[in-house]
Amino acid sequence: MSFIIRSGEKKDAQAILNLIIELAVFEKEPNAVEITVEDLIRDGFSSNPKFKTFVAEELDGTIIGMTLFYARYSTWKGKSIHLEDLMVTEAKRGIGAGKKLYTSIMKYAQENEFKRVAWEVLDWNVNAIAFYKKTGATVYNEWRVCHMNEESLMQFCNENI
C-alpha cells in the first residue's frame, strides 16, 4: 500500500479544502464551496472541534483523500455520526484509499460506541451506491434531504418574527 490513513491535522487544512472543492465540481456544484482554510482550522482543529477528519496520505506526504464527519444525536438511535464527505482525488481512485477511509470511520464509530453512521449520496453516483450496499449499508430511496441556505434562513426568520 502506497498510502496511510491517519487523523487529519491543522497542517492538512488546505489539502482538505482542495478535496472539498474537487468534490463540489464532481457533484456539479463548482461554485457552492464558501468555506476557507481559516474556517476549517477554526472549526476542526481548535480546542472545541466541530468535526473530525481522516486523511489518506501518500508516502511523500501528499494528501490524496479525506473524510469529514461529526457527532450528532438520533432521537431513535442515540449517539450517531454524520459522514459529511468522503473524497479521493480523481487520479488516485481505484487504489483502495476510499475503502480504507470508509473503514476508518466505521471502526471509529464502533470503537466509540456510536449507534449509527448516516450520510447522503446522490442518486446518480451509482458506483458509490453499489459500494455502500456491498458493505451492508441501507440506501433509502424514500427519504428526501432538505436544506435551508443562509439566504433562505434570513428570509424565513425575517418573515416570522
Active site residues: 132
Give me the residues paired with residue 87 across strands: 66
DSSP SS3 for 66: strand
The two beta strands, 3-7 and 52-58, are: antiparallel
Q: Write out the H or E segment, with its range, that includes residue 69.
A: strand 63-74
Dihedral angle over CA of 129, 132, 138, 143, nearest 10: -40
Q: Which three cell numbers stand for residue 28?
A: 456539479
Q: Which amino acid is at 35?
A: I
CA distances 78 to 11, 44, 69, 117, Å, are 33, 23, 16, 11
